[in-house]
Amino acid sequence: MHNEKCIFCRIISGEIPSDMVYVDDLFVAFLDIHPTTKGHTLLVPRTHIGSFAELSGDVAAALGDRLRKIAPRIAQAVSASGFNLILNNSADAGQVVPHVHWHIIPRYRTDGLRPWPSTTTSPDELREVAGLITTKLKDI
Ligand code: 5GP
Ligand code: ZN
């Protein structure tokens, strides 16, 4: 589905120019216009889908396969020594463009980035949170 108001749909259709690095029947990948590091790439399903949970099982499985193949090659191409795979899901998680996409961010030994801060908790709190999550995951 194409959404005329969506900037990524318009990039996919070619209406808005981009530095496209990969295309197939289900996905496209292009360089982020404001790269966090050199080689920062966005992997985007062709269909306009807002959030991760709305992806079909087939597309989600194919997506894992593409990330597995593409991310290490991007890192090699720009002589990075690692990469982060990040999906911002929902505005509170930093999602600005409402068309689901993965950030492939090449990492360099000297880039000085820490993607997110860590916090300190307690064993009791960890156990409580694990209980909440395992209960929710039981019916998968
Ligand atoms: P989000 O915050 O939604 O996870 O990430 C959206 C990303 O899309 C941002 O990193 C932003 O720099 C990138 N972006 C926004 N508009 C454009 C555009 O017109 N072209 C390209 N190539 N990237 C864009
Ligand atoms: Zn879209």
Q: For each of the chain's 140 residues, which pLDDT tens digit applies?
A: 788 899 999 999 999 999 999 999 999 999 999 999 999 999 999 999 999 999 999 999 999 999 999 999 999 999 999 999 999 999 999 999 999 999 999 999 999 998 788 999 999 999 999 999 999 999 88
Nearest CA to ligand 1 atom 21: 33
Question: How much distance in Å is there from the Cα of 10 to the middle of ligand 2?
Answer: 7
pLDDT given for residue 2 in this prediction: 84
Residue among 96, 103, 116 whose CB has most ligand 1 atoms within 8 A, to mutate: 96
Residue among 97, 101, 102 whose CB has most ligand 1 atoms within 8 A, to mutate: 97
Question: How much distance in Å is there from the Cα of 46 to the middle of ligand 1?
Answer: 15
Residue carrying the six token digits 């306009």: 48
Q: Are 81 and 105 in contact (CB under 8 A)?
A: no
Q: Report d(CA 130, CA 61) in Å as an integer.
A: 26
Q: Are 33 and 8 in contact (CB under 8 A)?
A: no
DSSP state letters, 61-104:
HHHHHHHHHHHHHHHHHTT-SEEEEE---SGGGT--SSS--EEE
Q: Is 40 annotated as catalytic?
A: no
pLDDT given for residue 108 in this prediction: 97
pLDDT given for residue 57 in this prediction: 93
pLDDT given for residue 127 in this prediction: 98
pLDDT given for residue 107 in this prediction: 98
- Our answer on whether the CB atom of 7 is closer than 6 Å to any ligand 1 atom is yes
**Atom in ligand 1 nearest the alpha carbon of residue 103:** 4
